[in-house]
């Protein structure tokens, strides 16, 4: 059994300034065995991370794609997938790239929550049921109920836009420590969503220092 944080943002995302090395250090500190740098609409941060020489943390290829109606993780995708496409077309491209389509924060109220915006039947593979940024619980609870109702594989993630949040929520996954085994375990539902939401104190500190952090990145 390993700990996976499948949804982390680095300085390669416009809304994060976390250095890859800081992310890896925090993953080690919090006993996270497997991570995915899932930056917005780019795989460059993930490629950079996988090119670093380090043995402790397995890095899964990934990208968070802004589809026309909301965000979708192309988990396992090594190549760029265009943004702005209809959701099912985005999912099809993820599958064409040997990835699995995971819906992050599916019921987020603002523009990123795909399942909050569309009633279209979509061929996705898994959803986040525990996203650390939604500490009030409503969005996570609704995702959890959907997962149970339709037997959809589920994950927990930090959705960390600042490296100190890595591992706040995570997934316990029953797999071997290699990319193919991780993907197969998710599809088979060999996962458990764990952790606690990013605290208001941590989040407030981050937001207070956000402009300073951007200047020094």
Q: How confident is the model at residue 199, as a pLDDT?
A: 58
Contacts of 18 by beta carbon, 8 Å cutoff, 6+ apart: 8, 9, 10, 11, 160, 161, 162, 163
- Amino acid 108: pLDDT: 82
Q: What is the model's pLDDT at position 210?
A: 55
Could you say which DSSP state residue 26 is in? Answer: H
pLDDT tens-digit series, residues 111-136: 588 887 676 789 999 999 999 987 66
pLDDT the model gives residue 214: 46
- Starting from the edge strand earliest in sequence, which strands make up the sheet with 169-173, in order? 58-59, 34-37, 2-8, 169-173, 191-195
- pTM of the complete model beyond 0.85: yes
**Residues in a beta bridge with 64:** 40, 73
Domain that includes residue 28, residue range: 2-216
Tally of CB atoms within 10 A around 150? 8
Distance CA 78, CA 81 (A): 9
Total domain count for the chain? Answer: 1
Residue ranges in the chain modelled with pLDDT below 70: 110-111, 117, 119, 135-136, 199-217
CATH number at residue 189: 3.20.20.140
């Amino acid at each position: 059994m390993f700990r996976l944080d499948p949804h982390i943002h680095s300085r390669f995302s416009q809304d994060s300034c976390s250095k890859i090395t800081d992310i890896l250090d925090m993953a080690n500190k919090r006993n996270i065995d497997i991570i995915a740098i899932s930056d917005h609409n780019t795989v460059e941060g993930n490629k950079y991370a996988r090119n670093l020489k380090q043995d402790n943390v397995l890095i899964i290829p990934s990208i968070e794609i802004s589809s026309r109606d909301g965000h979708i993780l192309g988990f396992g995708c090594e190549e760029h997938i265009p943004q702005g496409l209809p959701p099912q077309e985005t999912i099809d491209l993820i599958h064409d790239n040997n990835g699995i389509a995971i819906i992050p924060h599916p019921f987020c109220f603002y523009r990123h929550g795909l399942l909050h915006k569309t009633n279209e039947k979509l061929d996705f593979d898994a959803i986040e049921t525990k996203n650390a940024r939604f500490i009030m619980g409503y969005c996570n609870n609704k995702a959890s109920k959907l997962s149970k109702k339709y037997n959809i594989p589920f994950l927990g993630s930090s959705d960390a836009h600042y490296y100190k949040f890595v591992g706040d929520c995570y997934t316990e996954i029953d797999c071997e420590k290699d990319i193919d085994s991780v993907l197969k375990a998710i599809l088979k539902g060999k996962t458990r969503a764990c952790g606690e939401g990013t605290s208001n104190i941590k989040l407030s500190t981050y937001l207070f220092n956000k402009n300073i952090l951007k200047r020094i990145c």
